A and B are shown apart, each in its own frame.
Chain A
Amino acid sequence: MNNATTVKRGLTLRQKEAITGVVFIALPLASLLVFMYYPIIRSFIISLYEWNLLTKPTFNGIGNYQTLFKDKVFLTSLWNTCRWVITYVPMSVITSFLLALLLDQKLKGAGFFRTLYYLPVVAPIVVVALLWVWIYNTDYGILNFLLEKIFHLDPIGWLTDSRFSLFAIAVMSVWKWAGYNMLIFLAALQGIDDSIYEAAELDGVTAWTKLIYIKIPLVMPSIYFVMLTAVIDAFQMFTEIFIMTKGGPGYSTYTVSYYLWSCAFEYSKMGYACAMAAVMFVIILVVTLIQNKVMDRQVRYDV
């Protein structure tokens, strides 16, 4: 027992360090528990009740979940989220990656363009959505005007035709977020050791081979990261929908977040909305786990 010595000299450095460590994270941790983990647990509990906030909640077991999987609107919202991932993720990854390749060269003014491309990222989503609603307007929008002038196309109902509405929002989102993902890719590209290129150049490889065999594999972790973020964001999509389409036409742009918000704050079905949140949570968990598996394998493969 060396208690005697520590007591005499006060705390050891090591103990001091541990106490400071805990003190430094105490508030963030408390905040994390109260505002993140506790709500997740409470959400699961509420999902077992029927509750309109006004009267006492009544226990409903898994009733909400049963209804959920028969609810056409919920299933459509889920399906729209899948459609969104399939449309948006490839568009976004490819565009951002190409932009990064473009700016990865030693061009004069690359810094300026990098800043410029990032501009839509800082623009408030409300501003961006309102602007694009105006651009997309079937009768008075600039987009249809240009398409008619250049390609002699008939006006397209970008936000009113269920074949285009989701796609139109995806294009807007690529415009808004490409600058952010571009920076991530750019960072990864610039992190590639010059010696790898030098060795490749000695072997006389073409730019194409360099891209396929060096750049893409080495940037792969970033691509996974961007994709995972995009999938999670797909479940968060609310403001764009709220401002641009209100889920319409029909249910073609209902997202899980938008429907959840409607159920909770318009129809006062708190239990039902929480059941939706729980399902969303499980889906994200599964996606994240799969992503981690794939990424692990990728990393091992690289090594």
Chain B
Amino acid sequence: MKNLKKAIALMAAFAVAASVLLAAPTVKAEWEGAEKAATLEGEIQYMHSGDDYEREMYAGVFASYMELAPNVKVEQMYVPSDYYTKLQTLASANSLPDLFWMGESGIRQYYEAGMLYDMTPYLEEYPQLTEDIIDGVLDYGNFDGKQVAFPKDWTSYVMFLNLDLFAEAGVEVPTNDWTVDEYKDIAAKLTKMTADGKRVDVYGTAINNYRADWINWMGNFEAEWFKDGKSNLSDEKALQGLGVMYDLVQAGSAPSPGTVSSTGDSEDRLFIIGKVAMYPTGRWGIPSFRAECDFEWDAVEMPKGTTRVCPFICSMVGIASTTKNPDAAANVLSYQMSDEGLVQVMGSALSLPVYNDLMANEDYCNTPPSAEPFINSAAYLGSDSQLAAAQTGKWSEYNSIIYSNLSDAFEGNVTLEEAAKNIDEQANTTLFAD
């Protein structure tokens, strides 16, 4: 559900990106694959999800690639919804496209079925692919020492702030080094009742019953929530992390995720219309915020627990093992990941480049909001628990076990401890039994 949001972009964002494109940003490094591109030929199918806007962006990338590789034809296959069902169907019919996207947690099943091309040699052929890459992001596509999927981008998880509501309530705007306790405190202060005192008019914050939130909060308390191949949400630190979300709902500083998701699928609506003052979400929220928020807003890093962990949310690119033209496929990937390719995509502010040097560049990580929270979070991206859980190949089912049980807790039907216990029991007997 939420990963669809990542694909969300609005019309106005198009204008933003268009202006970025027109401004002809400086491309830092020459693309290393240009020479080879001119010699290649063949047809490459590239399948991706997203929305119309993302489709146009990638159409642009492929068009400029084809200028450099006149004998290669990139055929774009765009799937707007139920992408993973379609991908799986094509896989089962043994007709995967040459290049395609997979969720960062949904790679193993394709790897095990022998459907992914080992791209390790291409990492050597195109050193720019991995040069200055953010630590750890390659691991999600690495199985048994083989690189079978490549992280095309990432999307930091940060807290967006409605500055007008802060000013109205006379509350000081937090800085990047704020803590969980301060967060709870501010959330309570910003929560405002209606005139008759019966209902909440403005919520201090909102939470999402979504993997990015879980991974973030549990991680911020150093929880090993997936340990030795088993679900470990009953762990004290994990409970402490999830407890942040739980407490906010209990305290009335955040609406229950169920109440909000029944207004549609997303809490960001409430942030946009000014009903939620602080809203944690990924970079994908920015295009709609830029287009629709009629108030001052900015972002800060997620509040600190005992430490900080940023969830790694990404669509990774794979090459099908059935491809007739791996060289061309890798060349397309290399172009997409080059400064030249990335600048056409990152202007939209839907996601971030996986390269440290580009993070500090306005053309790749543009404002508003401030770039620091995004740049900073690259330093603590991903966690062992996330990586281990993602690589089980059973994430989608595990994800829905967590989602269902936590929703029960957030809606006040069971306690958080009970929910965590149910999750571990259910997951460890069905999914992660020896």
A54 contact from B1, B115, B262, B430, Cβ within 8 A:
B115
Contact of A54 with B413 in the complex, beta carbons under 8 Å: no
- In contact, A137 and B262 (Cβ under 8 angstroms): yes
The interface on chain B, measured as residues whose beta carbon lies within 8 A of the other chain's beta carbons, has a size of 36
Q: Which A residues are in CB contact (< 8 Å) with B408?
A: 162, 248-252
Closest CB in chain B relative to A151 CB, distance in Å: 14
Which of B88, B200, B411 lies in contact with A157, CB distance below 8 A? B411
Cβ-based interface call for A53 (8 A): yes
A residues near B115, Cβ cutoff 8 Å:
54
Contact of B109 with A249 in the complex, beta carbons under 8 Å = no
Q: Could you tell me the distance in whole angstroms from the C-beta of B299 to the nearest C-beta in chain A?
A: 25
Verify B85–A250 contact, CB threshold 8 A.
no
Closest chain A CB from B260 CB (angstroms): 8
- CB contact list, A201-258 vs B, under 8 A: 244, 246-252, 254
Q: A250-B413, A262-B400, A266-B400 given as contacts; is B113 within 8 A of A160 (CB)?
A: no
B262, A250: Cβ atoms closer than 8 Å: no
Q: Are the C-beta atoms of B413 and A159 separated by less than 8 Å?
A: no
Which residue on A lies nearest to B258, using beta carbons? A160
**Inside 8 A of A71's CB, which chain B residues have their CB?**
430
Given contacts A138-B262, A248-B407, A249-B408, are A157 and B256 in contact (CB under 8 A)?
Answer: yes
B83 at the interface (CB under 8 A from A): no
User: Considering only CB atoms and an 8 Å cut-off, how many residues of chain A contact the other chain?
Assistant: 35
> Which residues of A41-78 have CB atoms within 8 Å of chain B's CB atoms?
52-55, 67, 71-73
Cβ–Cβ contact B262 & A136, under 8 A: yes
Give min CB distance, B434 to chain A, whole Å: 15
CA distance A275 to B410 in the complex (A): 33
Do residues A248 and B109 form an inter-chain contact, with CB atoms below 8 A?
A: no
Q: When the two chains form their complex, are residues B259 and A250 in contact, meaning their CB atoms are under 8 A apart?
A: no
Contact B91 A53 (CB under 8 A): yes
**B409 (CB) vs chain A CBs: closest residue:** A250
B356 interfacial contact with A, CB 8 Å: no
6 other A-B residue contacts (CB within 8 Å) besides A139-B199, A162-B411, A250-B407: A72-B426, A140-B263, A159-B262, A160-B259, A249-B413, A250-B408
Binding site for A on B (CB under 8 A): 1, 84-85, 88-89, 91-92, 109-110, 112-113, 115, 199-200, 255-256, 258-259, 262-263, 394, 396-397, 400, 403-405, 407-408, 410-414, 426, 430
A-B contact pairs, 17 of them (CB 8 A): A53-B91, A54-B88, A134-B263, A138-B262, A139-B199, A140-B263, A159-B262, A250-B404, A250-B405, A250-B408, A250-B411, A250-B413, A251-B404, A265-B85, A266-B84, A266-B397, A268-B109
